[in-house]
Structure 1
Amino acid sequence: MTIINSVFNWFMKKRMHQIELFQKYPNEVQDEWFEQLIAAAENTEWGRQYHYRDIENLRQFKERVPIQNYDTLKPYIERMLAGEQNILWGSEIKWFAKSSGTTNDRSKFIPVSEESLEECHFKGGKDMLTLFVNNRPDGQIFDGKVLTLGGSHQINSINADASFGDLSAVLMKNMPLWAQFYRVPHLDIALLENFEEKIEKMALATIDANVTCLSGVPTWNILLFKRILEITGKNNLLEVWPNLEVYFHGAVNFTPYREQFRKLIPMDNMYYLETYNASEGFFGIQDLEGRTDMLLMLDYGVFYEFLPIENLDKDQPETLTLDEVELGKNYALIITTNAGLWRYLIGDTIRFTNLSPYRIEVTGRTKHFINAFGEEVIIDNAERALNEACKQTGAIISEYTAAPIYFTDKSTGGHEWLIEFEKKPAEFERFVDLLDSTLRKINSDYDAKRFKDMALQRPLVRAVPKGTFFNWMRERGKLGGQNKVPRLANSREYVDSILKVVSEVSI
């Protein structure tokens, strides 16, 4: 092991002790953060509005502060964008993470404080390395570079002192010098706004680097990696970067991409480490090799509440704390953060897979599901069913989306799937049957609606040409960064817009 790897390993062992402490005392750590967050915001406009100075416990906090979403916080955030301070958070807010979300085209501007940068986002980044080193103590990643494919950076024209960009770009602009030294490419390329230009320049700038670590959203990284192989004429990434060890990924479920990465990186011991990192904060890291769930990170300046998904539409829903959650149930995640997001419904749904320590899986979005006929299909159901269908038929999926087919006078309803295959199934009709049967097996509501085709017919699956989703995202101005293909929708907005711009391929 080189000296530099030994030094980093020493620092990370110290951090492992702190991680072990919050695993051992999760409720105490969360209680401390709750008190700190309330105290820190007492004199903000929000804190005065809800009388934070008089709040003595969580019950009072829940009674006084309603559950929020972006629409309810938007008037405050717009004032912050215009330069006002001490609105939602006490310290100066100069950065905003721009997120388009996946439910509509409206941009969201999430405040990023100095505290959330240091104690949440950057701490999460360091903990990714910490947990990797803890599981692979003989790793040599610090001998090389980290390749990060992020978003673009823009200056907020409303206020010269405020800046916004994709979260990845905000993090790159604020990274300490030592971290900049270990990443490629240079910021002038990494922050290019034109995504296609960025892919080309990144490929040319990194093919001769000693890349040991990859980081980013799988969707966009695959495009970069394929371009690198085209330029170099190599068969796989190990021929370009022979010292590759780990890929840090997040933002989307990795299962549909796993086979593509096995082809790109044909190495049995390549380490894949999943993270749960959003514009609003860093929440989870896969801490054990061989598992797909993530350790809920409890000392990042985030206080968590959990709303049972069945209570989501109630007027005054009761939320749960860590000590009240149950295994296997779906919860909408609600966060209070050190950037001034108060009881914020982030839009993700999670499920606890372990309660000591607390580990979670992201199961979907509160607004990304299909429930046109009472079937309540969530993204987790879709991913599991597609994975089984792929496994049984040898298919590999690049991208997909699905939506309802509405009742007509002559037919029942159903689901329409648009799938872009990297490798088509050997037996297409069997693929459809497996998708359908697995959904029936894991979702009793779907199964009931499928009974004798009374409410739901067999799924209609359309294979679309390669490049379909890339071209569609490009037309919508949503290439790169945190932008994601919407997986499920309860309307036909996405499916119909895709079908208008491409001709589907019949198999």
Structure 2
Amino acid sequence: MPIPLFNSIASWLLKKRYHQIELFLKYPEEVQEEVLLQLLEFAEDTEMGKSYGFDSIGSYETYRERLPIVSYEEVAPMIERTRLGEQNLFWPTSVKLFAKSSGTTNSKSKFIPVSTEALEDCHFKSGKDLLCLYLNNNENSQLFTGKSLRLGGSKELYEDNGSFFGDLSAILIDNMPLWAEFSSTPSNKVSLMSEWETKLRAIIQESVQENVTSLAGVPSWMLVLLNNVLEETGKEHLFQVWENLEVYFHGGVSFSPYREQYAKLLPRKRFRYYEIYNASEGFFAIQDRNDEQDLLLMLDYGIFYEFIPMEGYGTPNERAIPLWEVQVGTNYAIVITTNAGLWRYKIGDTVRFTSKNPYRIRVTGRTKHHINVFGEELIIENAEEALKTVCQKAGAEIKDYTAGPIFMSGKEKGGHEWIIEFRKPPEDLSYFTEFLDNALKALNSDYEAKRYNNTTLTMPKVHLARENLFYDWLKAHDKLGGQHKIPRLSNKRDYLEELLQMNRSTAS
């Protein structure tokens, strides 16, 4: 089939889906209630379904009363039984695939079940919807005249007791439909290579020869790849390598710290950036408008959503609410029920709604990735926005960072300690630190109150990280490439101490 004709047919098919999207935009509550009742009916004969009487649950209120909210640790024994061969425990169809995730707060591996229904009706459906929304907003797109450069996980799929586990991206690549493989680069063989640095060279070797029209991957690792492409080809910017490049689909980490660096690599005003929000547990939201930073919550992927206001999270007053009770501007922890057999499961992410008609969100961080040792409630969204503001003032560019608390000792007050690796460092680190402190005060009233007259918190302490410190830290932990991320904020000093030690030992 000629490429222009393929582009036209693919675009037409994807745009047809937009009419279904309009249905949940118009009737969000009804669609979500239907999703929940269908999941309950489908799984009523499972071990869980019989234990909780799924067959007699006819409303959300009964569901909320009957089933507890759970963390991974609480469902891990049942997941492990399934990995060892038992079936029909929490989901009626055979579950053989598990997305291995270490998260970013715990070194212990998690094995998230991925059912056939989750693959087809959530992960692959979302990929088509991402293209559908993009094409609906960009009618002159020539996306399918070329290929998408995808940067997936760096782990292969490993068989274990008849089940398979690996990075979610590896599972998706290994099971993707032919049309998606046809329109992607590099090959599946290269995409699934396990050793990051060898894989990086192989991706470049294959992809620079292709007509790449889109990019897809985590911003931090994609930036490493793209800088290596320019170094390898000797070009000044990426349009000299791929003239028809038109969009970058990104997710996994906040894009804010990387935005200016991408603008230099892709110096074309009409180039588009589209953000997604997905995880091993499911695909949740897609940017549905050009040049906007909030994401449309996708309501018909076999996922039922609940939300816990963060002000009550982890307290005796903790209570989940359904989608139709959320408020704009409130920070919530997400609870999901899915077509892979996760029932009222806390995924560990936090979001804030920017709109209820339709339901749009912004990802604000992780339930465990914040600093709240002194009641300052500093979340990743605050940190990213403050660093963006400060870098603009100081003419600096950040590559990576992490921060943790300085605990009170005797009469000494507490504080926050940062270690930052700059691509372009500020001329004066003390001014940068002062700007950062003021920016955090402007964004977070709790932080400002604790900093008032040094009542509880003293001025932050900022360390310059040597070049490639974070890359070397990830390499030492076998976490190069794919879905692995730098832990940004923590209530503990574990990551911080380890990085500071590596920084000192190299400097000496």
Relative to the length of structure 2, the TM-score reads: 0.97
1:70 alignment partner, one of 72, 75, 87: 72
Q: Deviations over 1:76-97 (max 9, x none)?
A: 0001111111111011111111
Q: Contact 1:276–1:284 at 8 Å: present in 2 too? A: yes
Shift of 1:504: 8.8
Map of 1:347 onto structure 2? 348
Q: Contact 1:274–1:285 at 8 Å: present in 2 too? A: yes
Map of 1:391 onto structure 2? 392
Map of 1:3 onto structure 2? 5
Q: Deviations over 1:241-291 (max 9, x none)?
A: 111000000010000000111111111111100000100000000001121
Please tell me the residue identity of whatever aligns with 2:204.
Answer: A
Name whichever of 324-333 and 313-322 sits farther off: 313-322
Q: Deviations over 1:64-114 (max 9, x none)?
A: 110011000100000111111111101111111111101011111100000
Map of 1:89 onto structure 2? 91
Q: Contact 1:347–1:366 at 8 Å: present in 2 too? A: yes
- For residues 448 and 163 of structure 1, the distance between their equivalents in structure 2, rounded to whole angstroms, comes to 50
Q: Deviations over 1:135-170 (max 9, x none)?
A: 1110101000111111134444531x2111111110
Q: Contact 1:349–1:365 at 8 Å: present in 2 too? A: yes
Q: Contact 1:195–1:480 at 8 Å: present in 2 too? A: yes
- 1:164-183 matches, cutoff 5 A: 164-183=165-184
2:48 alignment partner, one of 43, 46, 62: 46
- For residues 130 and 159 of structure 2, the distance between their equivalents in structure 1, rounded to whole angstroms, comes to 34
Q: Contact 1:464–1:505 at 8 Å: present in 2 too? A: no
- For residues 502 and 103 of structure 1, the distance between their equivalents in structure 2, rounded to whole angstroms, comes to 21
- For residues 177 and 386 of structure 1, the distance between their equivalents in structure 2, rounded to whole angstroms, comes to 42
Moved over 4 A (4+): none
- For residues 228 and 169 of structure 2, the distance between their equivalents in structure 1, rounded to whole angstroms, comes to 21
Q: Contact 1:215–1:249 at 8 Å: present in 2 too? A: yes
SS in 1 for 2:321: coil
- For residues 157 and 218 of structure 2, the distance between their equivalents in structure 1, rounded to whole angstroms, comes to 24
Q: Contact 2:97–2:113 at 8 Å: present in 1 too? A: yes
Map of 2:299 onto structure 1? 298
Map of 1:147 onto structure 2? 149
SS in 2 for 1:2: helix
Structure 1 vs Structure 2 CA RMSD: 1.4
- For residues 496 and 31 of structure 2, the distance between their equivalents in structure 1, rounded to whole angstroms, comes to 44
- 1:208-219 matches, cutoff 5 A: 208-219=209-220
2:81 alignment partner, one of 79, 82, 88: 79
Q: Contact 1:275–1:294 at 8 Å: present in 2 too? A: yes
Task: Name structure 2 gaps, 5 residues minimum.
Answer: none
Q: Contact 1:204–1:228 at 8 Å: present in 2 too? A: no
Map of 2:109 onto structure 1? 107
- For residues 365 and 98 of structure 1, the distance between their equivalents in structure 2, rounded to whole angstroms, comes to 18
Q: Contact 1:462–1:505 at 8 Å: present in 2 too? A: no
Q: Deviations over 1:298-340 (max 9, x none)?
A: 0100000011111211347321111111010001000000000
Shift of 1:220: 0.7
Shift of 1:13: 2.1
Q: Contact 1:192–1:198 at 8 Å: present in 2 too? A: yes
- For residues 424 and 454 of structure 1, the distance between their equivalents in structure 2, rounded to whole angstroms, comes to 30
Q: Contact 2:391–2:397 at 8 Å: present in 1 too? A: yes
- For residues 372 and 8 of structure 2, the distance between their equivalents in structure 1, rounded to whole angstroms, comes to 53
Map of 1:226 onto structure 2? 227
Map of 1:436 onto structure 2? 437
Map of 2:28 onto structure 1? 26
Map of 1:98 onto structure 2? 100
Map of 2:255 onto structure 1? 254
Shift of 1:488: 0.1
Provide the aligned length of Structure 1 versus Structure 2: 505
Map of 2:62 onto structure 1? 60
Q: Contact 2:273–2:291 at 8 Å: present in 1 too? A: no
Map of 2:242 onto structure 1? 241
Q: Contact 1:385–1:438 at 8 Å: present in 2 too? A: yes
Relative to the length of structure 1, the TM-score reads: 0.97
Name whichever of 489-498 and 451-460 sits farther off: 451-460
- For residues 136 and 5 of structure 1, the distance between their equivalents in structure 2, rounded to whole angstroms, comes to 13
Map of 1:446 onto structure 2? 447
SS in 1 for 2:96: strand
- For residues 7 and 428 of structure 2, the distance between their equivalents in structure 1, rounded to whole angstroms, comes to 49
SS in 2 for 1:129: helix
Q: Contact 2:334–2:351 at 8 Å: present in 1 too? A: yes
Map of 1:360 onto structure 2? 361
Q: Contact 1:385–1:435 at 8 Å: present in 2 too? A: yes
Please tell me the residue identity of whatever aligns with 1:330.
Answer: N
Q: Contact 1:463–1:504 at 8 Å: present in 2 too? A: no
Shift of 1:420: 0.9
CA 1:108/1:314 → structure 2, altered by over 3 Å: closer, same or farther?
same
